[in-house]
């Protein structure tokens, strides 16, 4: 079913061991409390111990349960099927902090899409280890916080950022933020930090992927948006895309083409994250 995006919806994200009756039970729960389902999708892993994944959205209008009552009333079903689950209300926008360094192409694209209401999120602030892009934030009336990061004081400096963000945001976007996050930052926002890597991972992990792609003579370059984990550039992949290149392209050409892909891939990942369309499974994602 196609979702009616102009009307507030409630979305359940569910994962549990596969067994008969899950879809019927969840659908009946929604029906019994006067919910109208507008979108439903599910997936089951095909190995021996199958895991069932489900995303189901229904109209908030007419639904009989308050948010707290929904949690209480649905919990026995979750216990019965051993579910890991979460609930998301479309009218409650996720709050985000965008991290940048000096490159502005991803930030510019995100801000334009946010201003045009394509990305339905609330930007709490822009954080950078350089003052370079402060004027850009000011154009959109957004607070810009400059947190310098020292090579010897990185852990202390990032602790200051984490303390500053406490209670302000739901997730983070690394829009070409050229710093490795400390484990305590990653752990504070598990599967809630979206990074754009300028490579079609797992190829060319780490720094300077365009230069290494040029040296290798690849015919495709790409970009990867993924959740950040403690392992550099190895977190669950959310979105990817590629663009063709050839022997006439210089490193500068690859960088120019690559930045176009980076913008599109990061925006796509942010959109599906804010719409609660992602479930993680191990080091993979299920994207509905």
- When mean pLDDT is compared across 9-13, 82-86, 253-257, 282-286, the lowest value belongs to 253-257
Q: Of 74, 73, 4, give the one whose Cα is nearest residue 36.
A: 4
Active site residue 163: no
Q: Which residues contact 272 (CB under 8 A, 6 or more apart)?
A: 238, 239, 278, 287
pLDDT band at residue 5 using 50, 70 and 90 as cut-offs: low
pLDDT confidence bin for 97, thresholds 50/70/90:
very high
Q: CA 181, CA 183: separation in Å to the nearest integer?
A: 6
pLDDT at 3 (0 to 100): 43
Phi, psi values for residue 271, rounded to 5°: -60, -50
Residue 4: is its pLDDT beyond 50? no
**What does the pLDDT average to over 73-92?**
97
Section 227-255 average pLDDT: 91
Residue 118 has pLDDT above 60, yes or no: yes
The answer on pLDDT for 2 being more than 70 is no
Q: Which of 117, 215, 233, 253 is catalytic?
A: 233
Q: Is the confidence at residue 252, as pLDDT, over 60? A: yes
18 phi and psi angles, rounded to 5 deg: -70, 135
Helical packing angle, 251-274 and 105-115, nearest 10°: 40
Domains and CATH numbers, the chain: 9-89 (3.30.70.260), 94-287 (3.40.50.170)
Q: Which pLDDT value is given to residue 222? A: 87
Residue 261 has pLDDT above 90, yes or no: yes
Mean pLDDT of 55-68: 97
The predicted model scores a pTM of 0.92
Lowest mean pLDDT among 48-62, 166-180, 192-206, 258-272: 192-206
User: Largest alpha-carbon pair distance within the chain?
Assistant: 63
pLDDT for 48 equals: 64
User: pLDDT tens digit string along 122-170?
Assistant: 999 999 999 999 999 999 999 999 999 999 999 999 999 999 999 999 9
With a cut of 60, say whether residue 53 has pLDDT above it.
yes
> What is residue 210's predicted lDDT score, i.e. its pLDDT?
81
- The pLDDT tens digits for 15-48 are 999 999 999 999 999 999 999 999 999 999 876 6
Q: How far is 72 from 169, CA to CA, in rounded Å? A: 25
Average confidence score pLDDT of the chain: 93
Q: Is 204 a residue whose pLDDT tops 80?
A: no
Q: Does the pLDDT of residue 207 top 60, yes or no?
A: yes
């Amino acid at each position: 079913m196609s979702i009616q995006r102009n009307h507030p919806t409630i979305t359940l994200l569910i994962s549990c061991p596969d067994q008969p009756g899950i879809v019927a039970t969840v659908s009946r729960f929604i029906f019994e409390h006067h919910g109208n389902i507008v979108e439903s999708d599910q997936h089951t892993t095909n190995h021996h111990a199958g895991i069932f994944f489900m995303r189901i959205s229904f109209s908030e209008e007419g639904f009989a349960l308050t948010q707290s009552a929904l949690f209480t009333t649905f919990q026995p079903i979750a216990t019965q099927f051993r579910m890991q689950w979460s609930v998301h209300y479309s009218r409650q926008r996720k709050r985000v902090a965008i991290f940048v360094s000096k490159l502005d192409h991803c930030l510019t694209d995100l801000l334009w899409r946010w201003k045009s209401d394509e990305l339905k999120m609330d930007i709490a602030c822009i954080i950078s280890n350089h003052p370079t892009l402060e004027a850009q934030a000011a154009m959109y009336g957004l607070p810009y916080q400059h947190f310098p990061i020292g090579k010897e004081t990185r852990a202390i400096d990032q602790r200051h950022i984490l303390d500053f963000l406490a209670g302000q945001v739901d997730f983070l976007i690394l829009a070409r933020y050229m710093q490795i996050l400390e484990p305590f930052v990653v752990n504070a926002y598990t599967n809630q930090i979206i990074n754009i890597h300028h490579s079609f991972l797992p190829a060319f992990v780490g720094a300077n992927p365009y230069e290494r792609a040029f040296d290798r003579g690849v015919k495709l370059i790409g970009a990867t948006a993924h959740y950040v984990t403690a392992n550099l550039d190895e977190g669950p992949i959310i979105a990817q895309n590629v663009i063709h290149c050839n022997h006439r392209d210089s490193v500068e050409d690859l960088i120019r083409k690559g930045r176009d892909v980076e913008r599109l891939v990061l925006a796509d990942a942010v959109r599906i994250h804010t719409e609660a369309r992602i479930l993680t499974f191990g080091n993979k994602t299920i994207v509905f």
